Amino acid sequence: MKKLRYLLITGITLFLFCSCQMDAWNPYGGKEVYVSSGTPSDYNVEEFFQIAQSEFGLSADVVEMIRTAVSYTGIEKLIVRFVPLVYKTVDPAGREVLASGVVVYPLNQKARGVIDVLPFGYLANHQSAWSSGLSTEQVLVFLNQIIITPDMLDQGVSARECTTLPLGDDAPGSDMYHPILNMDNAGRVAYDMHIAAAQYFEKELGRKLPKNTSIFGYSEGAADALALNRWIDLHDNGNIIIDKTFSGGGAHDPMAAFEALRVTREQFYPIIPSILYSIDFWDTSINADYSKLFTGPLLAEGQESHFRDLYNRDHYIWTIKRAIYGPYSIEELKFMNSLEVYMHPDFFIEGWTNDGNEFQKFIPYLEYNNCTADPSWTPHNTIYLFHAVGDKHIPEVCTQNAYNNLLKKGANVVYDRCLDFENSDDPHMDGAIRFFVSCCGFFALN
């Protein structure tokens, strides 16, 4: 019923539109990063209800209640256009690559503004905005906003083929693997997508993208939201004006996240192996020995083959959890979160950061990729942080540390430390709904 209440609030606030078009801006330096656009798809509010029903698991009668609630707002007349884009960016090795994303905009009403919406993060690389069509990540378009969503690397057109992972000393070669918690690359890739969207608007639609933007992200997208904020502040030279950034449930402090998980020895989403592999993939100097990082089901009889098959970006979370914990139902797997089943015992000792411990090789990366600890960056805009206490995916200390760091810099930052889901089965997902609906309300009222 809580989810229903939040969705009803969202629906009721949808009518609060205005029609003020913001100042336009010219893409930086004239560099052409936009390559092409795909076949557009148009959606109406009825299709939004269908998305809500499928992605939130709502019954038909509940969706009908939401439809009735918004039928008095006039929003049922809004049509939005979803356009896949291909553009140029760079990977962490500095190579130019093609990436993809989507821009979604109101078709029959003037947009109120722009929101860069960063993807929530996926273990499987065939989940992307470019290939999946309109999803909850772009639903803010129905608040009469232009939505820009990059797929990030190793999603969409840049997705690697799901083959056996290359050895660490062979990477990156000609291959690709999703850069995780890489603030420089995430900021650059998302920024180039924004530029590509601006160039698409000018070249294909004959109009300017509004100069002002807000940034929104949850989970992995939360850290990427701050990465984009930082990149714009450091590299854009004032062409883009960020109004506000909304960042919820993010691993803003990777080092603190690893330390907290090491202590609790539990994590709902088995993402640490993918993070470690991603770091090793792009930094060939690490040359990790995975037999000293993982154990048990990830190393079948001491071999890395099982780990590489599981984390080749072809599998969803429940496939991976079943391979780790056994052939249990999804409901049972939700409560199977022990890191001790697959992480090497050296991860849990007090000296895990010392020389001689294989995990020590990753410490410089984890410490560096903390946007809010970067002494060169102080955000100019207001940042709204959110985290659900008891989060079993990403430790809440990450956002607390980010808040403290930004306060010390004199930044304008607000932190909603949500206590309402501390004892729920999945505070991270319950918090996602609260955060999303709160942001919907903000954009509707402002």
Instruction: Express each pLDDT in 224-246 by its tens digit.
Output: 999 999 999 999 987 899 999 99
271 in the same domain as 175: no
The number of distinct structural domains making up the chain is 2
Q: Above pLDDT 90, what percent of the chain?
A: 58
What is the enclosing helix (H) or strand (E) of 427? helix 427-445
**Does residue 5 carry a pLDDT above 50?**
no
**Does residue 4 carry a pLDDT above 60?**
no
**Does residue 202 carry a pLDDT above 80?**
yes
383 in the same domain as 355: no
pLDDT of the residue at 26: 40
243 in the same domain as 274: no
Burial of 154 (0-12, 13-18, 19+ CB in 10 A): buried
285 in the same domain as 248: no
Specify the higher pLDDT residue, 143 or 320.
320
Tell me whether residue 43 is in a domain: yes
pLDDT of the residue at 84: 95
Tell me whether residue 372 is in a domain: no
What is the enclosing helix (H) or strand (E) of 245? strand 241-248
383 in the same domain as 302: no
Specify the higher pLDDT residue, 45 or 224.
224
pLDDT of the residue at 304: 64
94 in the same domain as 60: yes
Which tokens belong to 24? 């336009």
**Does residue 37 carry a pLDDT above 60?**
yes
The SS3 call for residue 423 is coil
Specify the higher pLDDT residue, 156 or 8.
156
| DSSP assignment letter at 36 | E
pLDDT of the residue at 128: 73
Tell me whether residue 121 is in a domain: yes
306 in the same domain as 197: no
286 in the same domain as 233: no
147 in the same domain as 295: no
CATH number of the domain that residue 170 is part of: 3.40.50.1820
Instruction: Express each pLDDT in 410-428 by its tens digit.
Output: 999 999 999 999 888 899 9
For the chain, the average pLDDT equals 85
**Does residue 82 carry a pLDDT above 70?**
yes
- Report the C-alpha gap between 428 and 390 in whole angstroms: 8
pLDDT of the residue at 400: 98
Do residues 424 and 391 touch, judged by C-beta distance below 8 A? no
Q: Which domain holds residue 280?
A: 255-367
208 in the same domain as 154: yes
Considering only 2-6, 116-120, 236-240, 280-284, which range has the smallest mean pLDDT?
2-6
- Report the C-alpha gap between 128 and 41 in whole angstroms: 16
Tell me whether residue 441 is in a domain: yes
Instruction: Express each pLDDT in 288-323 by its tens digit.
Output: 999 999 998 888 766 666 788 888 888 889 999 999
Instruction: Express each pLDDT in 204-226 by its tens digit.
Output: 999 999 999 999 999 999 999 99
Tell me whether residue 138 is in a domain: yes
Specify the higher pLDDT residue, 13 or 230.
230
pLDDT of the residue at 109: 85
- Report the C-alpha gap between 278 and 181 in whole angstroms: 9
Tell me whether residue 84 is in a domain: yes
Mean pLDDT, range 59-72, rounded to an integer: 59
- Report the C-alpha gap between 116 and 228 in whole angstroms: 9
Nearest to 137 by CA among 81, 80, 221: 221
Instruction: Express each pLDDT in 159-200 by its tens digit.
Output: 887 766 654 444 556 678 899 999 999 999 999 999 999 999
Identify the band that residue 53 occupies on the pLDDT scale cut at 50, 70 and 90.
Answer: low
108 in the same domain as 185: yes
For residue 350, give every residue at least 6 positions away whose Cβ sits within 8 Å of its Cβ, in sequence order, or none: none
Do residues 248 and 432 touch, judged by C-beta distance below 8 A? yes
314 in the same domain as 383: no
Instruction: Express each pLDDT in 348-407 by its tens digit.
Output: 999 999 999 999 999 999 999 999 999 999 999 999 999 999 999 999 999 999 999 999
| DSSP assignment letter at 23 | P
Tell me whether residue 374 is in a domain: no
Tell me whether residue 317 is in a domain: yes
The SS3 call for residue 21 is coil
Tokens 């029609």, residue located: 19
